[in-house]
């Protein structure tokens, strides 16, 4: 029987991806592993230790899913204790956040290459901003995406990620990347649109 949080995650998954993608076990494994890596990276875990643990784990007999989920849950709780994080509150906060990102997440999923573990396609680098080929094509091959279209949202999200990672420190006069990124991206969008159409719309 699913608990309240897991049930609410299911509602979000169904709303965002639909039942087929939500039930794709390989995809869910890819995303779980990605999130684990991101969590470890955020806590400054040494990357060089990953391969040794991978070899060690896969050299042993595989476990039973129910028990392993329990192990993951307990180990995550212990990790959060060591890092001073309330795991339940973090989960609630993230679920609330991703409900506001459904369109952008759908666009990212649509651009994802088939049968790949990676969440994005082969990237091209535009002034340090990694975009998938589909996103580059949507932006620059013969047309400019409509404002707030899926392609626009996906490109804006990629830009915002780059912008936040390269943003000036708190000692500068501008220190809110979440506020600035959409405005700067929209200015760039308008400039590109103006270059590609008569009236820039």
The per-residue pLDDT for range 28-38, each reduced to its tens digit, is: 998 999 999 99
pLDDT at residue 194, as a whole number: 58
pLDDT of 2 higher than 60: yes
What pLDDT score was predicted for residue 198? 42
**Average of per-residue pLDDT values in the chain:** 78
Please give the average per-residue pLDDT across 80-85, as a whole number. Answer: 98
Low-confidence winner among 39-48, 92-101, 125-134, 145-154 (lowest mean pLDDT):
125-134
- Residue written as token pair 């029987």: 1
Structure tokens at 34: 């990605």
Q: How large is the average pLDDT for residues 31-59?
A: 93
Q: What is the pLDDT of residue 168?
A: 62
Give 23's DSSP letter. Answer: T
DSSP state of 123: E
CA angle 144, 149, 152 (to 5 degrees): 60
Q: Which residues contact 152 (CB under 8 A, 6 or more apart)?
A: 145, 146, 189
In the chain, domain spans: 4-100, 123-196
| pLDDT bracket for residue 161 (50, 70, 90) | confident
Q: Could you tell me the pTM of the whole model?
A: 0.57
Task: Locate 176 and state its tokens.
Answer: 């809110």
Q: Residues 200, 190: contact at Cβ < 8 Å?
A: yes
pLDDT at residue 119, rounded to an integer: 61
């Amino acid at each position: 029987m699913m608990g309240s949080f897991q049930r609410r995650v299911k509602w979000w998954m169904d709303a965002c991806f639909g039942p087929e993608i939500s039930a794709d076990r390989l995809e869910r494994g890819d995303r779980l592993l990605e999130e684990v890596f991101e969590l470890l990276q955020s806590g400054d875990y040494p990357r060089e230790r990953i391969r040794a643990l991978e070899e060690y784990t896969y050299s042993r007999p595989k476990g039973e899913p129910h028990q392993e989920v329990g192990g993951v849950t307990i180990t995550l709780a212990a990790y959060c204790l060591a890092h001073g994080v309330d795991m339940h509150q973090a989960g609630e906060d993230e679920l609330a956040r991703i409900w506001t990102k459904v369109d952008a997440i759908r666009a990212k999923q649509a651009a994802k290459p088939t049968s790949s573990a990676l969440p994005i396609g082969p990237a091209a680098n535009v002034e340090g901003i990694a975009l998938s080929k589909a996103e580059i094509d949507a932006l620059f091959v013969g047309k400019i995406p409509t404002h707030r279209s899926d392609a626009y949202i996906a490109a804006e999200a990629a830009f915002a990620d780059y912008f936040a990672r390269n943003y000036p420190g708190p000692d500068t006069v501008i220190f809110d990347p979440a506020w600035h990124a959409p405005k700067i991206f929209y200015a760039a969008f308008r400039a590109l649109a103006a270059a590609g159409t008569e009236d820039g719309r």
